[in-house]
Structures are given as structure tokens and as C-alpha cells.
Amino acid sequence: MVNTLSHLGVGLLLSYALGIKGRKRLVLLFLSLLPDLDYFTYSIFTLISSSVSHEARNQLFYLLGHRELTHSIFFAFLVALLIWVKTKDRRFTFGGFQAVFLHILLDYTTSAKMRPFYPLSTNESALRAIYPFDPIVNFLPLLPLLIVAAEFVKNKNRPGVKNWDKLNIISNDSWIIKNWDKLSTRNGDRWSTKDRDTWSRKLNGLNRLHGFVNRNEKKFYASVILVLLLWTAVFPIAKVFLIRHVSDAEGTGISYKNTYPISIGKFLAVYSYSDTHYKLLEVSYWSGVKESFYVEKVSVTGNVPEAQAYAERAGKLYSASVPKAIDYPVYSVSEENGLVTVILSDARNPYVDKWPYFDTVYRFVFDRESGEYEVYESHYGRAEKKLDKNCFE
């Protein structure tokens, strides 16, 4: 998943490359962020999901959930169709489609699991070939925002900005800088003429950058987009060959979509090693397999009759729910006072840091006597919450 500012930068890149200006440029910027507005639709889903049937809940999730409908190719075409019907502008329609499509593509190549071919298919997938904090996909799209800043600096003395020294800057904390001359340095002293001259030279560098770009605008931004697209193609293709090599060495087939980037040039691969264990592999693009780990599929604390059956029941209930955040389930089974507890988590959970994936944990509590059950979920470091039964049946 790419940061919001970078998505915004992609929209600005497109507007420059296609020569789109004015209100249409603002629309492209909005469209570059449009897929992530499903945060609001997901809030609606959480409000109504408990009052509908299991099947209706699943269908509503496909429509309203985060990284669902708005992160599908169908949605990109739908947006383009609406733009065409409204404007009959081919260039603007193409730009609108690309703004949405490139948002989806960048998320898809990093770590976001989605249903790209919904409603034709509800199967989830993700390339997961590029580290979410990769500097190219996160910072290269910020280049047009830097150019805009340079353009602002270049025009600061024009009639539109009569007095740079009296420009007011208001932050989120309502801190107001009323006079550039009164701005203080870290040690509390006023800025000297030398300090301001230093900053002026730096800002003049931005002016020169803006001048160069302005003379070659369309070609420059088109080239930046091309570099971005090539970068998002290199790692997925390299990953194909690397996974094939590792699969041959391990003597098994490793899933492409369920390998996960854990740093720049390194990913985590998993496969079912035996009936009782998974094998996890830390793989580098540069040197192959670095480390390997074995994770037990079902662990039992104490004497729990039919522990395997309870683990299977929990797995069956989970498989009917959405979203499916767990690809490689591990179960921890225990019993106390006639209540059988099954903790369900992903085998990769302990091996992925600094990113909120694979840390969803489900706690199933089965009453051995009545057969009834309750389910609790915790993820992203938040407090555990009880789930409605219509999540599962």
C-alpha cells in the first residue's frame, strides 16, 4: 500500500503529462485518491453488517469494504465511462482511467490484498512484489509536488504574491507565523541575513529545476511515469524467476501471491512442509534463501480430547467469513471448565514487523456441552472485539 501523498503525486504527474489544466487537473487529483474513499463506505458497512444475513453481509463487504470494489479494474472502467458520458473528452477520460488504475496497480504490487476482477471473480490476490516503503514508488510520485513548490517560490515576487515577508502559515495546531523576518532558529536567535541567503540559494535551485521541467513538461512527466511503471514491473518479473528457483530447490510449489515483501529486496515465502508443519523462508533477491523456520500447524495445551476436530471446526467457520486475512492458519487449542478455546492466527505473524498484515488473531470459544460458540477478533494492536455469528454462518 502506497502512501496518500504519493497517490496524489501520480494524479499530478498524469495531469502534466497529458497537458490537463484547470478544474480538470483538480478532478484528476481527486480521482487519484478516489479508491481510498472506501474507508467511508467501510464505516457504513460496519454499521449495518450485524443486521443482515451471512450471505448479504458478504456481498455488502465486496461492495463497501476497504480494497474491494473501488480497487477493481471494473471500478476504473466505470469511472472512465462516467467521465466520457459527462465530457466526451478522450484525453481527460484516459487520464481519469489512469488515475484510478495506477492507484490500484501500485497498491496491488506492494502488499494490499484485493479482488481486482470483481464482480467477475471474488478471488483475492496481490502481487506483493515491492516493499510497501520502497523509495521509488513512494518518493518518485512526489516529484511533481516538489515542482509545484518550486513554481510557487519562483512566482513569489509577482503581482499575485505582493509581500512574501507577510505570508501567513497556519499549521494544524493553529501556530501562525506572521512575519518571515521574525522566524526563529532552533536556538531562539533571529535568522541572520546569511541564513536567509543560504535558503534563497536553495530555493533558486528549485527555480532552476522548475525552469528545466517547464521547458520539457510533457516529455519529462511522461518519462517519470514510464520509470515508475518499469519499476513496478521489474520486481514482479524478478520474483517469478526467484520463486521458481526456490520452489525447485525445495522440491515443492510455492505460491506467488502469498509471498510477502518484508524489506527492500527481501520477501517471506511459506509452504506446507508436512501435515503438521509449515516451512517459512526468508528470501533475498540478491542471494536467495537467507533463513528458514518451521511453524507447527496445530499446538495443544494440556489434555484436550478431539483437539484436531475443534481446530478443523474453527477453520471451517473462518473459511466462510470475509475478509480472509489469514492465508496459512495455525491453531492453538486449550480447554478450561468445559470451554474449548481455539486461537487462530497466520503462520507469518511472528516474522513480519512494522506493517499491519498477518497480525489478525481470532479466538473461538466452544462450549463442549451445548456446542455453541463465540468468536473474538483482534488486530492492528487494537482491543479484542466480539464478532456476530452472521460473519460465519
Q: Could you tell me if 318 and 371 lie in one domain?
A: yes
Last residue of a domain, one of 295, 311, 328: 295
The pLDDT value given to residue 185: 46
Q: Could you tell me if 9 and 87 lie in one domain?
A: yes
The pLDDT value given to residue 197: 58
Length of the chain: 393
- Per-residue pLDDT at 160 exceeds 60: no
Extract the runs of DSSP E, i.e. beta strands, from the chain. 169-170, 176-177, 260-263, 266-272, 277-284, 288-296, 298-300, 329-336, 339-346, 361-367, 373-378, 385-387
Query: Could you tell me if 342 and 314 are in contact, meaning their C-beta atoms sit under 8 angstroms apart?
Result: yes
The pLDDT value given to residue 168: 39
The pLDDT value given to residue 155: 64
The pLDDT value given to residue 170: 36
Bigger pLDDT: 287 or 306?
A: 306
Task: Report the pLDDT averaged over residues 133-161.
Answer: 73
Lowest mean pLDDT among 151-165, 175-189, 289-303, 331-345: 175-189
Q: Could you tell me if 70 and 173 lie in one domain?
A: no
In a domain, 30, yes or no: yes
In a domain, 153, yes or no: no
- Per-residue pLDDT at 190 exceeds 90: no
Task: Report the pLDDT averaged over residues 330-353.
Answer: 93
- Per-residue pLDDT at 210 exceeds 80: no
* CA terminus-to-terminus distance, the chain: 31
Place 328 in a pLDDT band, splitting at 50, 70 and 90: very high
Task: Report the pLDDT averaged over residues 156-178.
Answer: 43
Distance from C-alpha of 270 to C-alpha of 352, rounded to nearest angstrom: 13
Q: Could you tell me if 36 and 53 lie in one domain?
A: yes
CB atoms within 10 A of CB 10: 28
Place 341 in a pLDDT band, splitting at 50, 70 and 90: very high
Number of domains in the chain: 4
Q: Could you tell me if 290 and 303 lie in one domain?
A: no
Q: Could you tell me if 9 and 106 lie in one domain?
A: yes
Distance from C-alpha of 148 to C-alpha of 152, rounded to nearest angstrom: 6
- Per-residue pLDDT at 55 exceeds 90: yes
Query: Could you tell me if 328 and 348 are in contact, meaning their C-beta atoms sit under 8 angstroms apart?
Result: yes
Q: Could you tell me if 289 and 334 lie in one domain?
A: no
Place 80 in a pLDDT band, splitting at 50, 70 and 90: very high
In a domain, 379, yes or no: yes
- Per-residue pLDDT at 38 exceeds 90: yes
Lowest mean pLDDT among 49-53, 118-122, 220-224, 282-286: 220-224
Extract the runs of DSSP E, i.e. beta strands, from 75-151. none
In a domain, 348, yes or no: yes
In a domain, 120, yes or no: yes
User: What is the distance, to the nearest Å, from the Cα of residue 233 to the centroid of all Cα atoms in its chain?
Assistant: 17
Last residue of a domain, one of 69, 97, 126: 126
Q: Which domain holds residue 194?
A: 163-210
Q: Could you tell me if 364 and 265 lie in one domain?
A: no
In a domain, 220, yes or no: no
Q: Could you tell me if 180 and 272 lie in one domain?
A: no
- Per-residue pLDDT at 137 exceeds 70: yes
Share of the chain above pLDDT 70, in %: 82
CB atoms within 10 A of CB 311: 25
123 phi and psi, to 5 degrees? -70, 135
Three-class SS state of 105: helix
Query: Could you tell me if 52 and 60 are in contact, meaning their C-beta atoms sit under 8 angstroms apart?
Result: yes
Place 173 in a pLDDT band, splitting at 50, 70 and 90: very low
Last residue of a domain, one of 210, 235, 266: 210
- Per-residue pLDDT at 296 exceeds 90: yes
Q: Could you tell me if 13 and 111 lie in one domain?
A: yes
**H/E stretch holding 381:** none
Quote the DSSP letter at residue 114.
B
In a domain, 64, yes or no: yes
Q: Could you tell me if 99 and 119 lie in one domain?
A: yes
Distance from C-alpha of 274 to C-alpha of 336, rounded to nearest angstrom: 30
Q: Could you tell me if 15 and 119 lie in one domain?
A: yes
Task: Report the pLDDT averaged over residues 13-41.
Answer: 93
Q: What burial class does residue 285 get, using C-beta atoms within 10 Å of its C-beta: 0-12 exposed, 13-18 middle, 19+ buried? A: middle
In a domain, 216, yes or no: no
